[in-house]
């Protein structure tokens, strides 16, 4: 059984697992707001390649700037924050996540729950294929007087992780990252505690992969792009390795299993999708300033995302990776090396082609975001290659992460309607 709440203009209908998730997030931000008084330590870090289990083993609370930026957009605050950043000299071409975060920082650093975020005790960057993270990190370093740690992660140019790459990352963890965390927290590294966190991560990851792969069913019980935003939230942010994450994904899996049993499609902002007309694979991040409106364009066409690369930006678990408590630091290294933004273009093409075939997709769609180089670089090449290899038609739309100036609803709607009409015509018995 599931329980739902009535949707609001900026939210979707909520199952019990989402109610649980909302409470988890609220508790986390309450702890962050109280940290200056309680003495709890905090770290600013990023989603791809985050070392959440290691941080938890030191009892240090993560703050993730990308999450703050996208939440600001969903709350209608990002335009104001971006304006503040641009007045400070940041170019229009700079990643809008960065500008939203910097603008929020300069406007009082009020987080998604309306509470002020604490200054960090540590800045921790795991570089995983996004050069912008390094520049963003430099900007944060100018703002805060605290220890800094950078984990350099080699790029998977040849599409594989070598032992030398793994050892390079592990050596940095031992010699660079862990000493900084020990200095900031006054705690010694506790590998047994890290192992406990990693075991919980693996348990939650098993359930997440089961949920994402449930989209192989017809009809798909989930939307693996818009809906997956909620599904991946805990594991991509501050909760991987926690008992809360284990409980959340166990509950989510049970809900999706019930939807499969009942033959139901995914939950959308307007309720259950009654008819699945199109199955698509989506490449690229979503737009956050008009998230509900963007999603509804797909719902109105009966289009369901059965797989997406954005749902892998914090970990490509469905290729078999799990955090391994028997090899804790090596496992963290493999996780960082395998994040989607750290994969080569040939690897991304292979993954997308596999998704189109395995999930019986009618086509695939790219949402290109100019200011997000981690995704947009090479997307036209990806489009041509996946189309050729899969035999399924590709589509291309453009929007932005969190800048409302670059979301043209009419343009995107027209392109989507044309694309879905083309899919319909290419079906056996479709219009000539």
pLDDT cut 90: percent of the chain above it: 84
| pLDDT, position 93 | 84
Q: What is the mean pLDDT of residues 283-307?
A: 96
State which residues form the domain around 389.
194-426
Q: State whether 120 and 149 are in the same domain.
A: yes
- pLDDT(427) > 90: no
Domain of 271, CATH number, reads 3.40.50.11900
Q: State whether 413 and 352 are in the same domain.
A: yes
- pLDDT(88) > 70: yes
| pLDDT, position 6 | 35
CB burial class (10 A; 0-12, 13-18, 19+) of residue 160?
Answer: exposed
Q: What is the mean pLDDT of residues 347-370?
A: 96
Q: State whether 125 and 177 are in the same domain.
A: yes
CA distances from 17 to 260, 269, 415, 423 (A): 16, 16, 34, 34
- Cβ atoms of residues 224 and 307 within 8 Å: yes
Q: State whether 174 and 68 are in the same domain.
A: yes
Q: Where is pLDDT greater, at 188 or 132?
A: 188
Q: What is the mean pLDDT of residues 159-186?
A: 96
Q: Where is pLDDT greater, at 9 or 165?
A: 165
Is position 431 within any domain? no
Is position 312 within any domain? yes
| pLDDT, position 431 | 52
| pLDDT, position 144 | 93
- pLDDT(212) > 80: yes
- pLDDT(12) > 90: no
pLDDT band at 430 (very low <50, low <70, confident <90, very high): low
Q: What is the mean pLDDT of the chain?
A: 92
Per DSSP, the residues of 309-350 read SGGGTT--GGGT----TTSHHHHHHHHHHTSGGGB-HHHHHH
- pLDDT(14) > 70: no
Q: What is the mean pLDDT of residues 178-206?
A: 97
pLDDT band at 170 (very low <50, low <70, confident <90, very high): very high
pLDDT band at 66 (very low <50, low <70, confident <90, very high): very high
Structure confidence by residue, pLDDT tens digits, 407-425 = 999 999 999 999 999 999 9
- Cβ atoms of residues 297 and 214 within 8 Å: no
Q: State whether 164 and 28 are in the same domain.
A: yes
Closest CA to 18 of 267, 294, 289: 267
- pLDDT(2) > 50: no
pLDDT band at 5 (very low <50, low <70, confident <90, very high): very low
Structure tokens of 424? 């319909």
Choosing from 189, 207, 227, the residue where a domain stops is: 189
Is position 7 within any domain? no
Q: What is the mean pLDDT of residues 305-314?
A: 95
Is position 69 within any domain? yes
Is position 336 within any domain? yes
Q: What is the mean pLDDT of residues 234-261?
A: 96
Choosing from 189, 212, 236, the residue where a domain stops is: 189
Structure confidence by residue, pLDDT tens digits, 252-263 = 999 999 999 999
User: In which element (H, E) is residue 293 found?
Assistant: helix 291-299
Domain of 57, CATH number, reads 3.40.50.11890
Choosing from 189, 223, 251, the residue where a domain stops is: 189
Is position 250 within any domain? yes
Structure confidence by residue, pLDDT tens digits, 19-30 = 999 999 999 999
């Amino acid at each position: 059984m599931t329980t739902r709440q009535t949707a609001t203009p900026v939210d979707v209908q909520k199952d019990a697992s989402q109610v649980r998730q909302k409470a988890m997030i609220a508790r986390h931000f309450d702890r962050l707001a109280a940290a200056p008084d309680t003495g709890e330590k905090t770290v600013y870090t990023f989603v791809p390649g985050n070392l959440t289990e290691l941080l938890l083993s030191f009892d240090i609370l993560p703050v993730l700037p990308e999450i703050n930026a996208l939440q600001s957009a969903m709350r209608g605050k990002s335009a104001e924050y971006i304006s503040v950043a641009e007045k400070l000299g940041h170019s229009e071409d700079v990643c809008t996540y960065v500008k939203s975060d910097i603008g929020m920082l300069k406007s009082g650093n009020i987080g998604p729950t309306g509470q002020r975020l604490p200054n960090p005790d540590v800045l921790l960057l795991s570089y995983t294929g996004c050069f912008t993270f390094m520049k963003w990190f430099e900007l944060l370093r100018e703002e805060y007087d605290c220890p800094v740690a950078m984990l350099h992660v080699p790029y998977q140019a040849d599409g594989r992780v070598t032992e030398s790459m793994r050892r390079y990352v592990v050596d940095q963890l031992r010699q660079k990252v862990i000493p900084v965390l020990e200095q900031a927290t006054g705690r010694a590294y506790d590998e047994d505690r890290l192992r406990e966190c990693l075991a919980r991560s693996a348990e939650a990851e098993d359930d997440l992969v089961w949920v994402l792969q449930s989209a192989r069913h017809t009809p798909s019980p989930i939307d693996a792009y818009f809906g997956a935003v909620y599904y991946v939230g805990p594991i991509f942010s501050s909760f991987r390795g926690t008992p809360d994450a284990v409980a959340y994904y166990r509950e989510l899996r049970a809900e999706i299993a019930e939807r499969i049993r009942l033959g139901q499609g995914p939950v959308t902002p307007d309720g259950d999708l009654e008819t699945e007309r199109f199955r698509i694979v989506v490449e690229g991040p979503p737009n956050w300033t008009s998230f509900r409106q963007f999603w509804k364009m797909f719902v109105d066409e009966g289009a369901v995302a059965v797989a997406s690369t954005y749902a892998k930006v914090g970990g490509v678990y469905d290729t078999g990776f799990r955090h391994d408590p028997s090899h804790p630091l090596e496992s963290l290294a493999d996780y960082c090396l395998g994040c989607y933004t750290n994969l080569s273009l040939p690897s991304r093409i292979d993954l997308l082609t596999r998704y189109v075939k395995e999930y019986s997709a009618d086509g695939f769609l790219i949402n290109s975001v100019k200011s997000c180089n981690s995704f947009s670089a090479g997307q036209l090449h990806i489009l041509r290659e996946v189309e050729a290899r899969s035999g399924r038609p590709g589509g291309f739309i453009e929007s932005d992460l969190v800048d409302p100036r670059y979301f043209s609803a009419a343009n995107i709607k027209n392109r989507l309607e044309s694309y879905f009409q083309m899919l319909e015509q290419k079906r056996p018995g479709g219009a000539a």
